[in-house]
Amino acid sequence: MGDGRSAYFTEEHELLRSQIRRFVDEVVRPQGEAWEREGQIPREALRRMGELGFLGIRHPVEFGGSGADALASAILAEELAHSSFGGFTVTVLVHTDMASPHLAGSGTIDQKRRLLPGIVSGEILTAVAVSEPDAGSDVAAMRTSARRDGDQWVLNGSKMFITNGASADVVFVAAKTDANAKGSRGISMFIVERERAGFSVGRKLEKQGWRSSDTAELVFEECRIPAANLLGRENEGFYAIMRNFQNERLVLSGMAVGEATEGLRLTREYVKNRRAFGAALWDKQAIRLRLSMLEAKVEAARQLYHHCAWRMSHDIDSVREVSMLKAHSGELVNEVMYDCQQFHGGFGYIQESAIERMVRDARVLSIGGGATEVMLEEVAKRSSEE
Ligand SMILES: Cc1cc2nc3c(=O)[nH]c(=O)nc-3n(C[C@H](O)[C@H](O)[C@H](O)COP(=O)(O)OP(=O)(O)OC[C@H]3O[C@@H](n4cnc5c(N)ncnc54)[C@H](O)[C@@H]3O)c2cc1C
């Protein structure tokens, strides 16, 4: 953030930023490698985040949250991403900004009373299950179904690539409730608790990156849940998913901007110390100009990121801007990591270097939560409306 002054952030925002930064330095950086090896984030780290108030930033004060705005989510995503551990960052952000907003946005008072305090404290971990083996970008093509049977709903089908899927206590699941409705119209959201009979984890998926984040296939076989677990209005789930996508894409872009910033910082540090041909690599104009150009691109992306968060915090429709941001930052972080790895030389290819992991973590940022092409289609649709 340069000298720390910004048109968008208040003193409260900056205080939050410094608190998260301290947590990252004291807790995440020292343990991140171990979490990568273990393949998950320990609950105790999440509970600590709950105690510090980081898991309820956006949630209402009456349920233990801080009731803050999208700018606060933007700070959370960016600062966690500076840790360089994408697996840790996505575990938290799925819980705070992708899954639990479904409950906060569409839940009844009873549903919120039952779950939100635990979500904010870190006792309850959440996931959101929309994607399926045959329906990713094309959400409306989902096949998981829910049929009403007396005072219960019965779910059947499977979900794919679900972050926190193996460890979440509560999953917000999208399912078709009207098989005859066209495309997006017959989809509803449900609250499914881990212990429900008929709900199981098919398999935990091994990934290229984000290795400390668990990603799973979820299976529903005649899974019965009470009628009271319908989340939001019947057959209107698609619109809730589209609404939440904006916040989801904002924080995923924050991961891209934050990780790119940290990658450049590590690389500048490396090339200033590494000597070749009688001088530091930083003294080679080709290297320092390339790094400076990338710094300029990342700074431009950061400004769009903050601008999108500001628009969202003022309830201004931002689908075009957020789609641009997601497309741009998801591609940019990969461009940055490629060069960062290049300038680390052989060391950048070795697993003990942070850059090697960051290259792997970055790849999914142009795919998950809205692939670049899908984002650009959203931009194109809106550009032609002008
Ligand atoms: C690690 C990880 C974690 C994830 N976590 C979750 C989660 O927690 N919950 C959840 O619901 N989902 C999750 N996902 C799913 C993710 O959002 C989807 O992978 C993503 O939306 C793309 O869908 P797909 O994989 O089915 O690709 P497809 O839809 O099959 O698309 C494949 C490729 O085709 C191209 N493409 C697609 N549509 C178009 C188009 N209209 N025009 C041009 N090109 C196009 C894109 O390049 C895209 O990458 C996760 C995925 C991963 C890899």
Summarised one tens digit per residue, pLDDT across range 268-291 is 999 999 999 999 999 999 999 999
Q: Return the pLDDT at 114.
A: 98
**In 3-state terms, the chain is what percent helix, strand and coil (to 5)?**
60, 15, 25
Nearest residue CA, atom 6 of ligand 1? 162
Average pLDDT, the chain: 96
What are the phi and psi torsion angles at 368 (to 5°)? -70, 150
How does DSSP classify residue 139? G
Q: How far is the CA of 374 from the centre of ligand 1 (A)?
A: 9
The response to whether residue 147 sits with its C-beta less than 6 Å from ligand 1 reads no
The response to whether residue 252 sits with its C-beta less than 6 Å from ligand 1 reads no
Q: What is the set of active-site residues?
A: 248
pLDDT band for position 127 (50/70/90)? very high
pLDDT band for position 1 (50/70/90)? very low
How does DSSP classify residue 135? B
Q: How far is the CA of 139 from the centre of ligand 1 (A)?
A: 10
Q: Return the pLDDT at 182.
A: 86
Q: How far is the CA of 365 from the centre of ligand 1 (A)?
A: 10
Q: Return the pLDDT at 384.
A: 67
Query: Is the model's pLDDT at 340 over the cut of 90?
Result: yes
Spatial separation of the C-alpha atoms in residues 313 and 255, rounded to whole Å: 19
What are the phi and psi torsion angles at 120 (to 5°)? -70, -35
Query: Is the model's pLDDT at 183 over the cut of 90?
Result: no
Q: Which amino acid is at 237?
A: G
Query: Is the model's pLDDT at 4 over the cut of 90?
Result: no
The response to whether residue 377 sits with its C-beta less than 6 Å from ligand 1 reads yes
Query: Is the model's pLDDT at 167 over the cut of 90?
Result: yes
Q: What are the DSSP E strand ranges found in 227-308?
A: 230-231, 275-276, 279-280
Q: How far is the CA of 366 from the centre of ligand 1 (A)?
A: 9
Which tokens in the block code for residue 370? Answer: 């809205």
Tell me how crowded residue 134 is: count the other CB atoms within 10 A of its CB: 11
The response to whether residue 215 sits with its C-beta less than 6 Å from ligand 1 reads yes
* SS3 of residue 59 by DSSP: coil
Q: What are the DSSP E strand ranges found in 227-366?
A: 230-231, 275-276, 279-280
The response to whether residue 367 sits with its C-beta less than 6 Å from ligand 1 reads yes
Q: Furthest-apart CA pair in the chain: how many Å?
A: 79
Q: Report the nearest atom of ligand 1 relative to the CA of 366.
A: 49
Handedness of CA 176, 180, 183, 186 (dihedral sign): negative
Residue indicated by tokens 């319908």: 230
How does DSSP classify residue 284? S
Tell me how crowded residue 264 is: count the other CB atoms within 10 A of its CB: 20
Percent of the chain with pLDDT over 90: 95
Phi-psi region of 128 (alpha: psi -120 to 50; beta: other; left: phi over 0): beta
Spatial separation of the C-alpha atoms in residues 100 and 94, rounded to whole Å: 8
Q: How far is the CA of 367 from the centre of ligand 1 (A)?
A: 6
- Mutating to test ligand 1, I would choose from 201, 205, 367 the residue with most ligand atoms within 8 A of its C-beta, which is 367
Query: Is the model's pLDDT at 47 over the cut of 90?
Result: yes
Q: Report the nearest atom of ligand 1 relative to the CA of 94.
A: 8
Pick from 134, 137, 130, 95: which is nearest to 116 by CA? Answer: 95
Q: Report the nearest atom of ligand 1 relative to the CA of 174.
A: 11
pLDDT band for position 219 (50/70/90)? very high
Pick from 129, 117, 297, 305: which is nearest to 220 by CA? Answer: 129
pTM passes above 0.95: yes
The response to whether residue 143 sits with its C-beta less than 6 Å from ligand 1 reads no
Q: Return the pLDDT at 6.
A: 83
